[in-house]
Amino acid sequence: MPERRNRRVLLAARPQGEPKESDFRLVEDPVPEPGPGQILLRTLYLSLDPYMRGRMNAGPSYAPSVEVGQVMVGGTVSRVEAANVGPFRPGDIVEAYTGWEEYALCDGRGVRKLDPSLAPVTTALGVLGMPGMTAWTGLMNIGQPKAGETVVVAAASGAVGSVVGQLAKVKGCRAVGIAGGEDKCRYVVEELGLDACVDHRRADLAEALKPECPEGIDVYFENVGGPVFDAVLPLLNPFARVPVCGLIAHYNDSRPPDGPDRLPWLMMQILVKRLTLRGFIVSDFARQQADFLAEVGPLVRDGRIKYREHFIEGLENATRGLIGLLRGETFGKTIVRVAPEGRS
């Protein structure tokens, strides 16, 4: 029988600005053998997420960088191939964090068994996984929307934003999305059921947003930064809450934006409007995972929260997938199909 091979994607160089394919390297090794206390996982699906761009940089952040020569990190849905540690059995489908490789060894810590009869297993990487939980924890803990208020969310057709907007509707709010392009805006209104969606590529974004928020904005869920934040800021109501979840418009920046006078001006807005801007990382609320699944799981199962998945075929295309995600070229939760879900 031919030796099984394990393809892995390593970080080859730290990108300057937008990542390039040459910043990654695809290598092939033999599939490792699990030792005592280890399980061997076969990756079925790999999640692609904006935070991966930050991990490619050197320097301090809320999580360690990927070193040059190391496997790129990432969340996965995997099948247990062999297990020398309980409670796992060969054939189990699990959520893990084993990164950009076809097979991986781990000790079972942080690995969660999935029940494929409850929901498609890919939802563990999206609407019922880290992005969905980010939406729910940021909106509920920091945004604290009340019925009748206006909630605006950026990157509204994406993995996090789509859940934020739909949850705002469930809570009885007016929900307004901001997204890139006509197709995404149409999807946000017609499929997800938000009240309106404005295309951030329009030159007159600020003017276009204003009539969609006739009572101002009470909660702005920030996923983007840049000109989108500039358009939202004047519309924020006194005591508005701004969960600062992500700033994807700046992830490829190699130096802080120009304009040293901007910060005191922003502070003045925070003061006079008594705004609450709070950054958060989903792991800050890790203890709320059961509450998140208890509330959002049934909403997904009964179709009140919809989701869309954008599949990329094959680990060798993950690099192009991440570059496309950062450019806004993917639509919905971006997932690499690494191996078929049925046994092969």
Question: Which residues contact ligand NAP by CB under 6 A?
Answer: 49-51, 131, 134, 155, 157-161, 179-180, 184, 200, 223-224, 226, 228, 245-246, 248-249, 280-282, 325, 328, 330
Cβ-proximal residues to 315 (8 Å cutoff; 6+ apart), any chain: 7, 9, 26, 43, 46, 100, 101, 102, 336, 338
- Please, what is the minimum distance in Å from the beta carbon of residue 300 to ligand NAP? 16
- Please, what is the minimum distance in Å from the beta carbon of residue 212 to ligand NAP? 16
Q: How far is CA 56 from CA 48, 64, 134, 319, in A?
A: 13, 10, 21, 12
- Closest to ligand NAP by CB, 108 vs 132, is 132
- Closest to ligand NAP by CB, 21 vs 230, is 230
What are the tokens at 251? 């992830």
DSSP letters for 64-113: PPPPTTSBPP--EEEEEEEESSTT--TT-EEEE---SBSEEEE-STT-EE
- Please, what is the minimum distance in Å from the beta carbon of residue 284 to ligand NAP? 8
- Closest to ligand NAP by CB, 173 vs 248, is 248
Omega before 87 within 30 of 0, i.e. cis: yes
- Please, what is the minimum distance in Å from the beta carbon of residue 33 to ligand NAP? 34
- Please, what is the minimum distance in Å from the beta carbon of residue 102 to ligand NAP? 23
- Closest to ligand NAP by CB, 83 vs 153, is 153
- Closest to ligand NAP by CB, 305 vs 325, is 325
What distance in Å separates the CA atoms of residue 80 and residue 98, rounded to the nearest whole number?
12
Nearest to 119 by CA among 330, 297, 293, 334: 297
